[in-house]
Amino acid sequence: MTSAPTPSPAHETQAAPASLTAVRPSVPPERLLADLVPPRHFAEARFSTYRANPAYPSQAATLARLEEVAREIAAPPRRGLFSRKRPTASAVYMDGGFGVGKTHLLTSLAHAVGVQDSAFGTFVEYTNLVGALGFMPTVEALAAKKLVCIDEFELDDAGDTTLMSRLLRELTDRGVALAATSNTLPEALGEGRFAAEDFLREIQALAARFEVLRVDGEDYRHRAVVTESRPLPAETVRAVAASRTDATLDDFDALLEHLGSVHPSRYGALLDGVGLVALTDVHPVRRQEVALRLVVLVDRLYDRDVPVLLSGSGEASLFTEEMLRGGYRKKYYRALSRLGALAEEGRTVAQAAA
């Protein structure tokens, strides 16, 4: 597989590819490990910058507890001279809806412990790492950290969930602290710890080690579950993309086809050097495997704060009603919330260029 040059800090002025479909990134396993750091979108996230909504006391309570956890990890209890028992590592799980600040809090925890002593990634990124390095090399690499953060823990693939449960068990046995997040569906927010019960059931042997922290609230992005924002005219999308050296411009169908030829673990590298993504003829996605690839791309775009310009039907009806009721619905709702926020940023870019 051929690869495009990966822009480095010394070459940031190099023009980004004109099209994402022209890029076939080659990502060595070492980069997958090196990329396990807080995403750019949350580079400035700290406990001090989290604004707990007083209407939802659980937000402030979770913030306070995580500050305690950070102190526990940074300065673990000292073992007595005659103690044979290994100190129990902290393990916390944040459960709540979309956009309530869970990733901000998780990233703040990583920063408080120290980025050099933490690994931060999504569930998918850790499963990709195991696939690239092998199970025990992944354990050895992560066991060197004090804290492993898993954002968006997923329960929709039994094999991956079992793999992750085994990985986390190996890490906790070695004294590594854990912190994870997941999402409760909007319609399940009134059902108590709906997602938390699923999580604890699936991780089985680890369940007793995890402390569940509920984070209530509304989506801070202030978007409906399915956005109703207007797409941009195709000519506007093309003109704005042509005016920037860091922009890419792709036909939506061509991009979807290209994503099928690139492993999802490389989607982050696909965006190296890209500051704006423009897509024309956006329309509803009918095939599940294609939609799931698009979800991963949206997550990588959001991590990197890359605005998007969309023409066609836009993001409003991107996924079918059947998908939004199916087993992967959490992923789709998250993608809609995030893509809507990035599209709003894209509209701001377009207005400034007008």
Residue 19 pLDDT class (50, 70, 90 cuts)? very high
Euclidean distance between CA atoms 70 and 111, whole angstroms: 9
At 54 the pLDDT is: 93
Residue 98 pLDDT class (50, 70, 90 cuts)? confident
Q: What is the pTM of this model?
A: 0.78
Euclidean distance between CA atoms 59 and 337, whole angstroms: 20
Which residue in 107, 97, 125, 120 sits closest to 46, CA to CA? 107
Secondary structure of 181-233 in HEC code, one letter for each residue: EEECCHHHCCCCCHHHHHHHHHHHHHHHHCEEEEECCCCCCCCCCCCCCCCCC
| Tokens, residue 31 | 């980069």
Higher per-residue confidence, 285 vs 97: 285
Residue 202 pLDDT class (50, 70, 90 cuts)? low
Q: Which of 20-29, 64-73, 324-333 has the highest mean pLDDT?
A: 64-73
Higher per-residue confidence, 17 vs 61: 61
Summarize pLDDT for 284-296 with one digit per residue, the tens. 999 999 999 999 9
User: Quick one: what percent of the chain has pLDDT higher than 70?
Assistant: 81
Domain residue ranges in the chain = 32-77+85-215, 223-353
| Range in 41-45, 61-65, 112-116 with the lowest mean pLDDT | 41-45
Summarize pLDDT for 239-279 with one digit per residue, the tens. 999 999 999 999 999 999 999 999 888 999 999 999 999 99
Summarize pLDDT for 139-197 with one digit per residue, the tens. 999 999 999 999 988 766 677 878 888 899 899 999 999 999 987 654 444 444 445 66
Q: CA angle at residue 108 from 349 to 64, to 5 degrees?
A: 130
What CATH architecture does domain 32-77+85-215 belong to? 3-Layer(aba) Sandwich (3.40)
CA 183 vs CA 71, 83, 194: distances in Å: 26, 39, 10
